[in-house]
Amino acid sequence: MKKVTISTLLKMKQQSERISVITAYDASFAKLFDEQGIDVMLIGDSLGMVLMGEDSTLPVTVEQMAYHTKSVKKGAQRAFVIADMPFMSYATKEQAYANAATLMAAGAEMVKMEGGSWLCDSIAGLVERGVPVCGHLGLTPQSVHKLGGFKVQGREQSAADDMLAQAQELEQAGIQMLVLECIPTELGQRISAALSIPVIGIGAGPGTDGQVLVMHDMLGISANYMPKFSKNYLAETGDIRKAVSQYIDEVRSGSFPSEQHSFN
């Protein structure tokens, strides 16, 4: 199968083909996901919670992200590979440049950063230097203490309007993809329609251009709890490969997420 690039994903948005994304952390699962036809693999700093047993993503380091990115890249022949920039690894432009370089050298084809307008200068600088960037708005897990916990964002009209404005500013700064986490369905659809880049939802309703799930949630093996926006595909299929294939099929058909996996 043909290698997925950012151009592939942009074309999918333009043709209203939904994009399937899953987190990956090692070569074996990356190979399995690749063989089933997943479009994008995200090495998420969620590894702090699902692999390390932490109660947040904050303890994850750049070195740990680079290690797992290198591992995933060895198993991912077709899928597009994105790596999270961990907490406080992009507090300044200089930090962003150095740490993004580390992750790109490890095999990432794009880096993901959480935050709004304050990131625009760093994003513009990275893009200018050849580093593709994915934004992340809504529930940003690295800001969990500031947000007061893992809560749905953008429910008030003013907060929704502000999130849309920030999404547009990030696109103008140069991001080529955006993740929206834990926001109302209507807002997810509104932002996706307003941007020309692919918008990937996780708890953002069915109106985005694609979906991402943490692999441990999708397989029902997360140590802590199952988020409302997730679905245990392994329980339905009894086989990991079939579970991944069904997830991809349901994202493409638009049957996942349903209303029960979304927020009003």
Catalytic residue numbers? 181
Q: Within its chain, how far is the Cα of 260 from the centroid?
A: 21
Q: Which residue, among 3, 25, 80, 82, has the nearest Cα to 214 in the 3D structure? A: 25
| Residue 84 assigned ligand-binding role | yes
CB 30 within 8 A of CB 24: yes
Reduced DSSP (H G I as helix, E B as strand, rest coil) percent helix, strand, coil of the chain, to 5: 45, 15, 40
| Residue 262 assigned ligand-binding role | no
| Residue 114 assigned ligand-binding role | yes
Structure tokens at 49: 């919670």
| Residue 45 assigned ligand-binding role | yes
Query: How far is the C-alpha of 80 from the C-alpha of 84, rounded, in Å?
Result: 14
| Residue 34 assigned ligand-binding role | no
Count of alpha carbons within 13 Å of 141, Cβ hemisphere only? 21
Helix axes 185-194, 157-173, angle to 10 degrees: 30
Task: Give one word for 77, left, alpha or beta, with left for phi > 0 and alpha for psi -120 to 50.
Answer: alpha
Q: Within its chain, how far is the Cα of 76 from the centroid?
A: 16
Query: How far is the C-alpha of 116 from the C-alpha of 120, rounded, in Å?
Result: 8
Burial class (CB in 10 A: 0-12, 13-18, 19+), 217: buried
Numbered residues of the known binding site: 45-46, 84, 112, 114
Numbered residues of the known binding site for 3-methyl-2-oxobutanoate: 45-46, 84, 112
